[in-house]
Every structure is written in structure tokens, then in C-alpha cells.
Structure 1
Amino acid sequence: MQQKRQPELVEGNLPVFVIPRELIFHADDQSKHKQVLTLYNPYEFALKFKVLCTTPNKYVIVEAVGAVKPQCCADIVIRHRDVRSCHYGVIDKFHVHISEQSQRKALGRKEVIATRLPSAKEQQKEAEEERIKEHLTETNRTVSSGPSLLTVFLGVVCIAALMLPTLGDMESLVPLYLHLSVNQKLVAAYVLGLITVAILRT
């Protein structure tokens, strides 16, 4: 039996059956800090396996090295131990290597990716913070651009109105229809004050 299957065992070409293909760890669910990787052995000979990780400081692999009997499976428990928010969305990789129990050469390899997601509350908080940042950025742009053309125009009009002569001033060379009443000048002064306050606040 060993001689019949030996030619098929080409190094690195043997399919590896691992479920799931992706591990997702949820920050708000303590039970999801632990995931199970199942390695199937559909072959008629025993397999040795070894699980490696690109970031071993973030994970604990229970029984990273082991064996699987013919036509059986093995569960590999992986725990996420670094729960800092800086790891949200970061993709890590696990490599599952298999070899025949009686040999050292690797017959196959499978890559499994792992991602850590923030809790729903943290996602909502991040979205709210992003909206606030966008609003502040937009406000700063508006402020840095200075007063609008309409504000400047109204200010100039009010200043010009205050400089025009008052009704009853006969010594002025300005035509009579440009003479303003005291009430009109008071309104111009009030509007100019509002414009000045608005400009100073920006």
C-alpha cells in the first residue's frame, strides 16, 4: 500500500483541507477571542501538522504541532491575546504545514488569514469621531477663508451710509436724494456693528 501512494506524495503539492479559511475575532464578544481551526485528513495515511503565525506575539496556538490519523480531523484552538484597538482591521496570517508522519519533507501548505474587528459600540464611536473631525475641518476651511463677499459688501454700504449727510444738512454738496434720516443712519450703524462682531468672532 505504501509503494502505491508514494509517487503521489510530491513535496508541496498535496492539498490541505482546513476550515475555516478566515478567522474573525470580535472585540465585544469574549467567546470570539478563541477560534477553532479544523484540519481534515482525507488520506489513507497519517499526517503531521505544524501551524505557524506571522505575528506570534498576538496569538496563542494550542497544540501548534500534532498529528492527524487517516480519514480523521484535528481541531487547532487559536486565541487572540492582544486586544488593543491598534490591531483592528489588521490582517494576520497562519500557515498550516502538513507532512507524512514517517517523513520530514512538507507535502502541502495552506494559508489562513485572521482579522480582528472592533465592537459595534467602538465602530459607532469611531464613525462619530470621524464625522466630528470632518465638521471641524469644514468649519476651519470656512473660517480660514475669511468673511464672505456679501459681508464685506454690506459693511462697505453701511460705512458709506454713515458718511452721507443727514437730512436737513444744507451745507453739503451731496445731492438731496442721498441725504439720509437719523433712523436710517442708526440702522446702518446697527448692521455695521453686527457685521463687525461676526468678523471678529471668525
Structure 2
Amino acid sequence: MQQQSRLADSAEGSLPVFVFPTELVFYADEQASHKQVLTLYNPYEFALKFKVLCTAPSKYAVVDATGAVKPQCCVDIVIRHRDVRPCHYGVMDKFRLQVSEQSQRKALGRKEVMATLLPSASQEATQPRSQEEEHRMKEQFADSVFFEQAAYQTESRVASGGPSLLAILLGLGCVAALLLPTLGELDSIVPVYLHLSVNKKLVAAYVLGLLTMVILRP
């Protein structure tokens, strides 16, 4: 019953959809880049089905354009560019991922991903990312998933019965995160392991803003 209530609330609004990366870039002179992978995450407690749409379907081949994602799992969606020609350089196409509950047809949420074909990658772009940079990007994305999921669940509960203890605790946690020193500050008595990156503080500020609007709205 509680799950059905949560799904009903989601159908009225927009269920956050977590996809990585959020932009696809293909390079004409790099055969390996003609194949890209989108990872769709399902952090929720119920299964989702998905569908991939495109504004230029003749230019791309999408492997498994429809499917399902188990609770708290992820799936990889392979996208291949099959029409690499100079006339398509710089043209921005759009992919839309729609998700819904398995027994429903109405989309609960959607996410758009831009795709661009470029003639060649710049020297910086062609250099492989270091393992440290890859780890940092995944960590930042995981933080965003966690905070946005918590904000969405809190908003659903607040809308059904006023501010909950979870909303108050989450708000206090965001305030505390904003008060902590930023990573890189040397003149601070706070231990280094408590210093937060700018990205984490931005996410905390975003979630705090959502909570404030939800709690204060009539």
C-alpha cells in the first residue's frame, strides 16, 4: 500500500531520473568513440521500465532501447553513431530516457541527453582521464544521486503530512555541510577529513533550497 501511494505521488510530479553521462560526444576521426554507453541508475525500492527515444533515429543504433531496471541496480544502454558524415558535424541531437513503473504506461520521469558529432577531439579531450579523476567524477555523481533521492523521498513525505523528522534532520545536515570548511582551506582548526568539496556544498545548498520550498509552501 505504501509503495502504491509513493508511485501515485510520483505520477503526479516528476520522478528524478539518474543517467550518466549527461552528454554524448562522438568524434569522426576516432572509431572507438562511435560507440557510447549510457548508464541508467535505479536508486528506488521498486523496479522501473525504460524507453529510449531520439530526435534523429536514423543516425543512431540503440541496443536495448527498452527494458527494465531492478530496484537499486543499473543498466548500460549502448548507443552507436552509424552516420558519420561532415554534414552532421556540430549538429546537436537529443536522446530522451523515459521511465515508468512496470505495470503502468504513464511516464513517471524523463531525462534528456544531448549528443554531438565533432570532426576531431582536442588534445586535452583525447588524453585519457587518470584513475583519480575517474574516481572523483563517480564520487560526485554518487553524491548527487544520494542527495536528490533523499530530497525526493522527503518531499513526498512532507507533502502527505507536514514536515517529518527526516526532513528536519536532512535540513540540519545540509546546514552543517555548508558551515564546514571548503576543501583546500589551510587556516582551519577543523580536521581535513571534514573539509567538503565545492561540488558537495552546491548539492547541499540545492537540497536545502528544495526542503525550504517544500516545508514553507502552503
Change (3 A) 1:40 1:2: same
* Structure 1 residue 28 displacement after superposition: 1.1
Contact 2:34–2:81 (Cα < 8 Å) also in 1: yes
* Structure 1 residue 8 displacement after superposition: 2.7
Q: Distance between the aligned counterparts of 2:121 and 2:66, measured in 1?
A: 35
* Structure 1 residue 119 displacement after superposition: 2.4
Partner of 1:79: 80
Contact 2:11–2:106 (Cα < 8 Å) also in 1: no
Deviates more, 1:25-34 or 1:1-10: 1-10
Q: Which amino acid counterpart does residue 60 of structure 1 have in structure 2?
A: A
Q: Distance between the aligned counterparts of 1:92 and 1:17, measured in 2?
A: 20
Q: Which amino acid counterpart does residue 25 of structure 1 have in structure 2?
A: F
Residue segments in structure 2 that go unaligned for 5+ positions in a row: 123-218
TM-score between both structures, scaled by the size of structure 2: 0.53
Q: Give the share of equivalent positions with the same residue, in percent.
A: 74
Deviates more, 1:9-18 or 1:99-108: 9-18
Compute the RMSD of aligned alpha carbons. Answer: 1.6
Helix, strand or coil at the partner of 2:11: coil
Change (3 A) 1:12 1:27: farther
Q: Distance between the aligned counterparts of 1:120 and 1:99, measured in 2?
A: 36
Q: Distance between the aligned counterparts of 2:11 and 2:91, measured in 1?
A: 34
Helix, strand or coil at the partner of 1:9: helix
* Structure 1 residue 9 displacement after superposition: 1.9
In the alignment, structure 1 residue 52 sits paired with structure 2 residue 53 = yes
* Structure 1 residue 101 displacement after superposition: 0.7
Instruction: List, as ranges, runs of 4+ consecutive aligned residues in structure 1 with deviation greater than 4 Å.
Output: none
Partner of 1:177: none
Partner of 2:37: 36
Residue segments in structure 1 that go unaligned for 5+ positions in a row: 122-202
Q: Distance between the aligned counterparts of 1:11 and 1:22, measured in 2?
A: 28
Partner of 1:70: 71
Aligned residues: 121
TM-score between both structures, scaled by the size of structure 1: 0.57
Q: Distance between the aligned counterparts of 1:12 and 1:96, measured in 2?
A: 16
